[in-house]
Amino acid sequence: MKKYPLILGAVSIITSSLLAETLEIEKIEVTDRVDMDEANTKNITKANIDNRVGAGQTNPYKALDMQPSVHMAQTDAYGLSLDQNSFRIRGLYADTFGRFALTNDGVPSVVNVGQGAMGSILDMENISSMSFVSGPSNGDSGFGFGNNAGSLDLKTRKALDDFEVYIKQAFGGGSFSRTFTRVDSGKLAYDTKFFISLSHSEVDKFRGKGKSDRDNIEAGMTVPITDALSIDILAAHNDIERNDYRGLTYALASDLSANYDFDFNTELTGSAANDKYYYDFNKQHFKENLVQANIQAKLLEGILSIKPYHIDTDGYRLSYNATSNVVSKMDMEQEQNGVVVRYDKNFAWLDAAIGYWYQKIDTIPPPTGQKSYSINNGQLVFSSWGMLNDIGSREFNSPFLMLKKETDDWKVQAGVRYLEMKLPSIQGYTTTAGDVSYDAAMASATIDPDLHVNEITFKKVLPTLNLSYELSPDMSLNANYAKGYANPWNGPLFSIYKSKKAVFQSHGISLQDIWDTLKLETSDTFDIGMKIKGENWSVEPTLYYSKYVNKQVTVYDPVVNLNYYQSNAQAEGKGFELSALYVPVADVELFSALSYNRLNFTQNLLTTGGALLAVDGNQVPDAPKWLFKVGSIFKYDGFYLSPALKYVDSRYGDILNTQKVPSYTTMDMECGYVKHNVGGFKEISTSLSLQNMLNRKYIAIIKNDLDDSGTNSALYYPGAPFTAMATLALKF
């Protein structure tokens, strides 16, 4: 179903507002909102975003890769292969479908497709800053499918007060090209203002054959209605089409020098056994839309904020399914609607915020429709419907309350959020229909009584507490506690039951039986830290401890002799983080981040044959214990130079800790020149970015999202080679 009318409608509203004759209204400046940010929040500036995200400007997590305890990697140098990227915080896998909350201006901003849509629908040029939290967020933030790994809130770069045109062109290795244009109207009648931006990005894969294409359009508008009421509107449309990278087995990854270029087959051979790995049978194409608003009003000496939002996606993923030996086409159409309502008020003795978050999502994993294709003479031939499901809505209801009190030395912030999460009911169908649409297949489908589950509702109270004490003007102590949560992955559980239904039923186990074992993963996180600063330096040490209950892993069930997804593991994380900044002279900054992260299971699990899987004390997969990052920024008369070096410790691909991946060190360099008010331009800037300057061959990503205990369950992805990219930008 096409969603373009939503975007066109938003643009029409903007255009009509500018052209309509209206009564004169007063200017609004709503600036007295209570500051309720977490004590452990890291602010990521626009300069940091531009410097670290690079020329691709699509992956917001890349801006965090110099933060302590953040292990971030990309399958390509530009971040365009969004959901194949990897992101862990303090060792915990941070996916937006389960454990990480990505929001934009305080509301969820992702479309959860496939492996969790590890990316953003927004261009980073339109983001002014970010707020990043390691671990669970305070009760009034971190809305999404889960937040026990952390949260990231993007701040939109609002329409400017003055007319401005910004054009940027980037080129780089791998036939990379990106064009970005943004136009700001400046203040028009009654101080209304808007912006619109367009971008096109494309790059060839550095391994094998194929490419990524991304087209984006965004528009934003600010309407000051009166001195007590304003409206901000943001709309975005994304069109992403790309060929996937192929993961390596551990055997191939162990000899990376020989298998660095290993990927899908580039040519059709006519052999079904070979052509199932053909690159164009492993690709995806999605169209995404976002519309959100922020309605702010002064009310009873406080600030009322209402933020409705809508996100949708429509597309497909084509991939070879080794289990069923067919090529699967997963059609995915999702719609996400919600609202965040919040009221902030200053009282004589404290600050308070009370609010409510509601979200409803239709048709999320398992897929509503999945078709299977065989290969005949290099062509895909429809075989059958692999899945045909009717899925209900997933709903979130979550009221919250935050209180803050400050004295000369103390700052106390306490909050609580009540979470009610409903997993949808699912009804599976069988059909003999051919290669037709979902609606046409459903018209002739028959209910499969064995593939039905009722909705499940989880309820949890999520308290938070932040304490800060100022020992002196240059030294403070802080302590934080928060309970987090993670949405259980139910798609893999449904799939394994469908494919092995006879095995389960032979032991009297229904789909509802294993569905009822799903539990909400929760975490309790404590951290203690200090902030010490001198005249030209600062140091921030932090100790943390996290306890994870009902952690979701893929483990063995001896009754049915199968590995499948269960919510029965316990784990704990503990570690140390140290950030430091030193400014020896003006225009020179040196910064570093050191972290030790221990995330391990605290119990053994069952394995094949009913024996215990000895994982108690083992590090979870893809979680390096040591991370060290160091960088600097040198500025002189408009020129800047910023080298950065990252060390990533060795890690494992399996929970038995037998598939070890070596440590690696990479070095990047960013340099450029910025000149203001020259040749009729407000600004001219150029930059050169050199990624992986040492041209290291290393494993960047280990895909074992569910910490699978199955043999050869992990896939290994090499990091991109040395890549150079250049950018020229004009502002007038």
Number of domains in the chain: 1
**Helix count (H) and strand count (E) of the chain?**
9, 40
| Phi, psi torsion values for 371, nearest 5 degrees | -105, 145
How far apart CA 216 and CA 201 sit, in angstroms, is 9
> What is the extent of the structural domain holding 459?
4-731
Instruction: Give the pLDDT of residue 366.
Output: 84
Element holding 358 (H helix, E strand) = strand 351-362
Q: Which amino acid is it at 686?
A: T
Q: How far apart are CA 159 and CA 230, in angstroms?
A: 14
Query: What is the reported pLDDT for 271?
Result: 80
Q: Which residues contact 66 (CB under 8 A, 6 or more apart)?
A: 48, 52, 591, 593, 629, 631, 644, 646
C-alpha dist (Å) from residue 528 to 465, 480, 481, 539: 12, 7, 9, 14
The pLDDT of residue 89: 94
Domain of 538, CATH number, reads 2.40.170.20
Query: What pLDDT does residue 326 have?
Result: 86
Instruction: Give the span between the Cα atoms of 90 and 626, in whole angstroms.
Output: 10
Q: Report pLDDT for 530.
A: 94
- Beta-strand runs (E) in 521-663: 521-533, 537-557, 562-582, 588-601, 605-606, 612-613, 626-636, 639-648, 651-652, 660-661
Burial of 183 (0-12, 13-18, 19+ CB in 10 A): middle
Rounded to 5°, the CA angle 10-16-21 comes to 150
Residue type, 724: A
Mean pLDDT by 10 residues, the chain (732 residues): 38 35 33 45 90 88 93 88 79 86 89 51 94 91 92 95 97 96 96 97 95 95 94 95 92 95 91 85 91 95 96 89 81 91 92 96 85 89 93 95 93 96 94 94 95 95 95 94 91 86 91 90 95 94 95 79 80 95 95 96 73 84 95 94 96 90 96 92 95 95 70 83 97 95
CA–CA separation, 523 and 712 (whole Å): 29
- Cα–Cα distances in Å, from 387 out to 113, 313, 320, 361, 369? 17, 19, 15, 20, 5
What's the Cα-to-Cα distance from 426 to each of 151, 448, 457, 530, rounded to whole Å?
Answer: 30, 11, 14, 49
Q: How far is CA 365 from CA 147, 362, 488, 500, 594, in A?
A: 19, 10, 11, 18, 37
pLDDT at position 708, please?
59
Cα–Cα dist 427/440, whole Å? 17
